Structure formats: structure tokens, C-alpha cells
Amino acid sequence: MSLTFASWNINSIRTRAHLVKDWLDRNEACTLLCLQEIKCEAHQFPPLFEEAGFHVAVAGQKAYNGVALISRAPLTITTDHLPGFESDEARYIEAELDDVTIGNLYLPNGNSGGEAGFAKKLNFFDALYHRARALQQGGRSFAFIGDYNVCPTDEDYAPKALSPDDALLHPESRAGFRRLLWSGLTDALRCLHPTGQHYTFWDYQAGAYQRNSGLRIDHALLSPRLADRLTSFTIDKDERGRDKPSDHVPVVVKLDTAQSSHE
DNA sequence: ATGCCATCCCGCGGATGA
């Protein structure tokens, strides 16, 4: 069957629960929404989604980070942390939806905390690579979607939107992303739109959105069989223009019906 | 120019974000 799923760094779900609910109501084809930076613990997650019939799974923590899944279909949670990422920070939750495994991730920014902070970012990339290998070896179709906090190439950020030494541009950050591609994953946006500016984040400061001074940092990486089913990747840029928006916008992946195997 | 803006915390300014 076809499958549509999405990712949105919401920058506090308690502040923007109504925006998410409105978005879900206008995007009925979206089966699963992956959220990052919910910035609360599970018991603080707004109840309106479950009250409206959605299935909700939360890996939360106080004040910072936190990821969640909001689904129209029942989910099986496989893990609420990324194996091999040695941290208590809530940055990963993974679920099975039919025959597809979805990993929802919030990668460390890497600009704070000095060398240890940047090492944490690289550690997450390394753990994600090993998670990909494990899922591949288990024969699973999977997608890693979320806020990767990396601009993969110079085409993925507006001139002067970041300082040249920013952790989002660091060669080792980009190498971590490329290593996932080399393991066989497909960058869904670049598969369909090989060139051009396709930003997913605009800073709150200095009129970045009005100047289109953005970044492409929210990505979906697809395993080979899912990449074969990819039909569209859309960036819901209009959400950035709403009242009190997140600084990120939703990205939506559509997959066609799986082909049945012959012989 | 490392601020501009926005979130969180049992706040009264600081850490974090990217």
C-alpha cells in the first residue's frame, strides 16, 4: 500500500499543539508525523491528539530535545533511543508501520559544549550508521527522518546564513551524512530535486524567512526498496509564515504502493 | 556584529538553538 509520512521540528509541542493539529487536519493523507524538539516529558505532551483518535508515542525529557510520533495507524515501537548513542538525551524513537521501520531523529547541533558537544554529534552519526547496517542486515525497509542538523552541501544553505566554521557545515558532519548515503541510503529530496535551493529552516532573527536566508537540515533517508517507491518529497514552506511558527517547516515523503515480488 | 528571536527553567538572567 502507499504510505505518506512527515517530519517537523516543532520547537515546543506545548506552544504549538494547535498548529500541529491544524496541519494534521489539512493533511489527512499523512499517516505518521515525526516531531522533534517537543521540549517536554511524556506526561506533559498535549492530550488533544489522543483525544482525537491519534496514536502517540513519546521519548521526552524536561526542557530540551524530545521526539514523538503521532500516527493515524497503530504503531509498534521498536526502541525509544538510538543504540550506541551514549547519552540520556531524548533524540530518537523508532517504530514499525506495516512492513516499514521509521526512525525519527533529532541529531545534536554540535555548536555548544565545546569538543565534547561536537563529539556527541559525530557519535550520533556513527550510531545511526550502525543502526542502518543492523536494519539492512535484518532485511527491513526503513527510513531515517528528522532534523539532521547538517547542510550536506554548500547548496543547502543561503549565503551568510551560517558562519563558515559552524558545526552544521563541518566536514566531519558532512562526512557523517555521506557515510549514510554510501551505505546505500537515498536522500529523498535530492533524488527528486538534484539541484536548487530547498530550505526547511529559517532563523527567527533578522528577517531570515523574508530574505529566504534558510537552511536544508531536515532530511529523509530511504533504504533501497523504499527509494524505489518514492513519488514525492514536499517542503511545507507556508507553515513558516503562520503566526508564532516553529523555525522549521514540515517535510512530507510519499511512497507508492509496494510492488509484489514475482517468483 | 555572535545580537538580531524564541524556547525552557520553580526564572527574575542564562543556556540552547543553528
Give the model confidence (pLDDT) of A149-180 as tens digits. 999 999 999 999 999 999 999 999 999 999 99
- Whether the CB-CB separation of A230 and A253 falls below 8 Å is answered with yes
What mean pLDDT, rounded, does chain A reach? 96
pLDDT at A186 exceeding the cut of 50: yes
Query: Average pLDDT in the A234-260 region?
Result: 93
Is the distance between the Cβ of A11 and the closest atom of strand B smaller than 7 Å? yes
Exposure on the CB side of residue A149, measured as CA atoms within 13 A: 22
Closest nt to A147 (CA→C1')?
B18
Cβ-in-10-Å burial (0-12, 13-18, 19+) of A239 comes to middle
- Domain residue spans in chain A? 3-255
For residue A44, which nucleotide's C1' is closest to its Cα?
Answer: B8
Q: Cβ of residue A87 near strand B, that is under 7 Å?
A: no
Residue A161 makes CB contacts below 8 A (sequence gap 6+) with A203, A208, A213, A214, A215
Rounded to the nearest 5 percent, the helix, strand and coil shares of chain A are 30, 25, 45
* Positions in chain B where some atom is under 7 Å from a protein CB: 2-10, 15-18
Q: Cβ of residue A147 near strand B, that is under 7 Å? A: yes
Q: pLDDT tens digit string along A7-28?
A: 999 999 999 999 999 999 999 9
Q: How is A149-182 classified by DSSP, letter by letter?
A: ----SGGGB-TTSS-TT-TTT-HHHHHHHHHHHH
Q: Starting at the edge strand that comes first in sequence, how are the strands of the sheet with A141-147 ordered?
A: A76-79, A92-97, A100-106, A141-147, A218-222, A186-187
CB proximity A210–strand B (7 Å threshold): no
The reply to whether the CB atom of residue A168 sits less than 7 A from any atom in nucleic acid chain B is: yes
- Mean pLDDT on A211-235: 98
CA of A64 to C1' of B14 (A): 14
The proportion of chain A whose per-residue pLDDT surpasses 70, expressed as a percent, equals: 98
**Residue A163, CB, strand B, below 7 Å:** yes
pTM over 0.95, yes/no: yes
pLDDT of the residue at A263: 43
Q: Is the CB of A40 under 7 A from strand B?
A: yes
Q: What is the pLDDT of residues A50-73, one digit of tens each?
A: 999 999 999 999 999 999 999 999
Q: What is the pLDDT of residue A15?
A: 95
Q: What does the block give as the cell for A243? A: 503566526
pLDDT surpasses 70 at A261: no
Q: Write the DSSP assignment of A116-135 as a string of letters.
A: HHHHHHHHHHHHHHHHHHHH
DSSP-derived 3-state class of residue A48: helix
Q: Which nucleotide's C1' sits nearest to the alpha carbon of A40?
A: B8
Strand partners, A70: A33, A56
Distance in angstroms, CA of A171 to C1' of B14?
A: 30
Provide the grid cell at A26.
Answer: 489539512
CA A161 to C1' B2, in angstroms, rounded, equals 13
Span A85-138, pLDDT tens digits: 989 999 999 999 999 999 999 999 999 999 999 999 999 999 999 999 999 999
pLDDT at A85 (0 to 100): 96
- How many Å apart are A62 CA and B10 C1'? 13
Q: Do A174 and A150 meet the contact criterion of CB atoms below 8 Å apart?
A: yes
Q: Which of A26, A18, A15 is nearest to A6 (CA)?
A: A26
Identify the CATH number of the domain defined by range A3-255: 3.60.10.10
Length of chain A: 263
> Residue A96 and residue A98: Cα distance in Å, rounded?
6
* Strand B within 7 A of A217 CB: yes
Query: How does residue A258 score in pLDDT terms, banded at 50, 70 and 90?
Result: confident
pLDDT of A260 reads 62
Burial class (CB in 10 A: 0-12, 13-18, 19+), A87: middle
Would you say the C-beta of A218 is within 7 Å of strand B? no
